[in-house]
Amino acid sequence: MKTACVLLADGFEEVEAVTPIDYLRRAGVEVKTLGVTGKTIAGSHGVKIEADAGSEGFAKDFDCVVVPGGGRGASNIAASPQAVFLIKRHFDSGKLVAAICAAPAVVLHGACGIVRGRRFTCYPGLEAKVEGADFSADRVVVDGNLITSRGAGTAGEFSQAIVAALVGEDAARELAEKVLLRG
């Protein structure tokens, strides 16, 4: 069974965290939420989530690391040496890293330095903070073991792309049909 972790920090964008958690679980992926700023994390709109693990979960290996956006949430993840190390360790070993909204620019580029030389997307306007990478205005961009997306409105497509990378295109299509992702 494939595994994934979703990093949660105070200020995370709820839709960008919960959609991948839900879609990945529907596709049979074992998902763990890791609390970067504690065990109970408050989203940018006041929704609180109890993480599956705190700092003890950062030593584990996963097939995918998912980094939700939300300006303050992304900044809190970028400020965590443990989270940055986890992301870089997985990326450098060829594991999948997926980030959405502010996270590609703030976390993956600013804190981790892993976007350079890659194709990516992010929340509109934040691409100006990223140097040495190829920005695309596409809703979801897949470049090898890196998946990036624009924002809350693209969370379903983002999650479907992660499912496709981890479980396969057939599973991703089946998931999209079941959740009525496409009209």
Catalytic annotation present for 101 = yes
Catalytic residue, from 5, 64, 101, 112: name it.
101
Q: For residue 138, what are the contacts with CB-CB under 8 A and spacing of at least 6?
A: 121
β-strand partners of 64: 4, 96
Kindly state the tokens that stand for 51: 């993480």
Q: For residue 24, what are the contacts with CB-CB under 8 A and spacing of at least 6?
A: 4, 31, 64, 66, 159, 162, 163, 166
What DSSP element (H or E) covers 155?
helix 155-167
Q: What CA–CA distance (Å, rounded) separates 174 from 94?
A: 26
Q: What CA–CA distance (Å, rounded) separates 44 from 142?
A: 26
Q: For residue 63, what are the contacts with CB-CB under 8 A and spacing of at least 6?
A: 2, 3, 4, 29, 95, 96, 166
* Cβ–Cβ under 8 Å, residues 151 and 100: yes
Q: Which residues are catalytic?
A: 101
